[in-house]
Amino acid sequence: MKDNSKLLNFTKGLWKENPILVTMLGLCPTLAITYKVENALGMGLAVLFVLVMSNLIISLIRHIVPDEIRIPIFIVVIATFVSIVEMVMEAFVPDLFERMSLFISLIVVNCIILGRAEAFASKHNWLDSILDALGMALGFTLVLIVISLIREVLGTGSITIWGNLAINFNKNNSPFFSNFFVSPPAAFIILGLILAGSKAINAAKAAREVKSK
Amino acid sequence: MNKSIFKYALLLVAICAISGLLLAGVNMITAPIIGSRNQINEKLEQYYPYAYYKQADDGSNEVAENAIQAYYYAFDENKNLAAVIYQTSFLGFKSQIVALISIKVDGTVENAKMIGGKDDYSLSDHDFEIAGESVDSYDYTPKSGATKTSGGVGAGIDAAINHFKSIKDSLGGVSYEG
Amino acid sequence: MTFGGLIVLAFNAILIQNVILNQFLGTCPFLGVSGKRQSAVGMGFAVIVVITLSSLVSWGLYYAILKPLGMTYMSTLVYILVIAALVQIIEMFLKKVIPSLYRALGIYLPLITTNCAVLGTAKTVIARKFNFLETLVYSFSIAVGFLFVIYIFSTLRSKIARGDIPKAFQGIPIALITAGILAMIFAKFGQLII
């Protein structure tokens, strides 16, 4: 039973409490950077690091943090790890950083991170908090990858990851591929359709469960 | 009440101090790496009026002697390509002369500047007299008294112009993003 | 920058590089509070005050302290603390001095700390190397653009809510699709030649 609950802490972020699909948090980066799969991977990794570290630290200091000033303290902890990610990315993946530097800094105010700190890490032990962070970050990254796959393939007819892995789907210049899909309006519309899709799947699931009972 | 506010403030300051130290530590590791790359960007910003720069990535990143080391696309405020700027390194009098050569997209040379080299005579503060020449027929005047040093820049100009001619037709597809 | 340049900067910030529809900043409160027209307007005005003040304070701190001391790596941390403190101060100020305004804006103020448009604008004015006047004009215009779009959007949503919408699309999904169509209209402003 106990092991099962540990596993649940991890898996709930992937679908049942997926930060984008279900709680609909962190939509700004989801919309802004998903025009390239490469960006989605970079953002996913950055969020994974920040979320795991901040959940870990906040869980460890949860007993010494006074309730009244917990939010400012959480923000300082999160901002510290975001700044570390900024510096490391600027040093080692400069191209990627240049493209999304603003949205890397904005992980500080990403509701997913503060939300997990407040709702989970400040109430659970460090192991559960890390599992929770891993699950949430992976759930977030998976959705980013799905959206960016749709946008990059439909928008450019190809996928390029770090210049090495490149697949071209559009060999005969079909008008089906339009750079509309990499433009801002398409970001809103595609995310809207995906959220509607996940809502429909969950509703169908719920209906089936009611029936089987 | 007042006592607890004081305690909270102290706790916040302490946490900020810890994170400041941590960040300073990481910064000590990453700053040299970022700095070495930004050096050339600082030079570009110092010498040229453009709003954005992007290094052209043509796959060869080795630092070669007597060749074009790198070239940069310069964009105006609306992110339209305005010029191509070459960083060249050719032998001058005693040392490799590093120069920046800027060619506008319409095919006129903007200027040529010496930015590095250990020759006695430094041309770095002077415009090499080539501004406004067309890439199709150009002529430059070496600085008198520093012919060999000038030659280092001149060879750079030749290499840059040759390369510019070879990529001129594909410049329309260059954009700042992506 | 000339006076004309400032006008262009303001126009760009309000319409073409609109903070929500083009830069994707502040999407969370945009979707969260745009359901009701009154709360959308309240949020919009509170955001104008906070964005303008926090950008100016961050700009000042960056050029007066962080850059001379070579501590620019602390900038993210400093900006977010500035924003959090500013929001707290404005809240206490309004509560004491203009209680009626506090009652109108009060509940939106704490939400603004985590509005990424605020931190995003503070970062942008540094990244684009704006001077003091440009920072003032740009941050104010960005916030006006936020109010403008969130107001338009709240009126649209109150109409949509009365329509017959498939269950899966109700709430956020249809709001996002509407925002997409609105963004298409705003994208056309970019083709105006100034």
Across A88-92, B142-146, C40-44, least confident range: B142-146
Query: Domain range for residue A124?
Result: 2-212
Give SS3 for B69: strand
- Domain limits, chain C: 3-189
In this complex, do C81 and B27 lie within 8 Å of one another by their Cβ atoms? Answer: no
CA distances B159 to B85, B146, B154, C67, C89, Å, are 12, 20, 9, 39, 61
Contact (Cβ atoms closer than 8 angstroms) between residue B11 and residue A70: no
* Confidence check: pLDDT of A184 > 90: no
Q: What is the pLDDT of residue C51?
A: 95
* Residues A56/A59/A65/A68 CA torsion (nearest 10 deg): 100
Using CA atoms, how far apart are residues C147 and C168, in angstroms rounded to an integer?
29
Neighbours of A59 (CB within 10 A): 23
* Residue C194 or A80, more confident: A80
**C80 — pLDDT class (breaks 50, 70, 90):** very high
Q: What is the pLDDT of residue B65?
A: 63
Instruction: Give the total number of structural domains in chain A.
Output: 1
Contacts of B34 in chain A (CB under 8 A): 87, 90-91, 94
**B178 — pLDDT class (breaks 50, 70, 90):** very low
Using CA atoms, how far apart are residues C75 and C57, in angstroms rounded to an integer?
12
Across A114-128, B32-46, B59-73, C30-44, least confident range: B59-73
List the single residue in C76, C167, C177 with the smallest CB-CB distance to A188: C177
**If you average pLDDT over residues C149-153, what whole number do you get?**
91
Report the share of chain A in percent with pLDDT over 70: 93
**Which residue pairs from B62-71 have beta carbons closer than 8 angstroms and sit at least 24 positions apart in sequence?**
B63/B89, B64/B89, B65/B89, B65/B91, B65/B96, B66/B90, B66/B91, B66/B96, B66/B155, B67/B159, B68/B156, B68/B159, B68/B160, B68/B163, B69/B98, B70/B40, B71/B160, B71/B163
Judge whether B26 is closer than 8 Å to chain C, CB to CB.
yes
Using CA atoms, how far apart are residues A23 and A20, in angstroms rounded to an integer?
6
Give SS3 for B82: strand
Q: What is the pLDDT of residue A194?
A: 93
In this complex, do C24 and A101 lie within 8 Å of one another by their Cβ atoms? Answer: no
| C135-150 per-residue burial string, b: 16 or more CB within 10 A, e: under 16 | bbbbbbbbbbbbbbbb
Using CA atoms, how far apart are residues A147 and A167, in angstroms rounded to an integer?
17
Using CA atoms, how far apart are residues B67 and B69, in angstroms rounded to an integer?
6
Chain A residue with minimum CA distance to C178: A189
CB pairs under 8 A between B and C: 13
Task: Give residue-wise pLDDT tens across range B115-133.
Answer: 777 665 555 545 566 777 7
**If you average pLDDT over residues A59-68, what whole number do you get?**
89
Q: What is the pLDDT of residue B81?
A: 85
Q: What is the pLDDT of residue B34?
A: 82
Please give the structure tokens belonging to residue C44: 């919009």
**If you average pLDDT over residues A177-183, what whole number do you get?**
82
Q: What is the pLDDT of residue C16?
A: 85
* Confidence check: pLDDT of B88 > 90: no
Helix axes A70-92, B2-47, angle to 10 degrees: 20
Report the share of chain C in percent with pLDDT over 70: 97
Q: What is the pLDDT of residue A47?
A: 95
Mean pLDDT of chain A, nearest integer: 87
Q: What is the pLDDT of residue C106?
A: 65
Q: What is the pLDDT of residue A163?
A: 66
* Confidence check: pLDDT of B61 > 50: no
**If you average pLDDT over residues C133-162, what whole number do you get?**
92
| A85-99 per-residue burial string, b: 16 or more CB within 10 A, e: under 16 | bbbbbbbeebebbeb
Q: What is the pLDDT of residue B59?
A: 47
Write down which chains contact chain C via at least 3 CB pairs under 8 A. Answer: A, B
Interface test with B, best of A84, A85, A151 (most B CBs within 10 A): A84
Using CA atoms, how far apart are residues A179 and B75, in angstroms rounded to an integer?
22
Which residues in A have their CB inside 8 Å of a CB on C? 24-29, 31-32, 71-72, 75-76, 79-80, 82-83, 86-87, 101-102, 105-106, 108-111, 114, 183-189, 191-193, 195-197, 199-200, 203
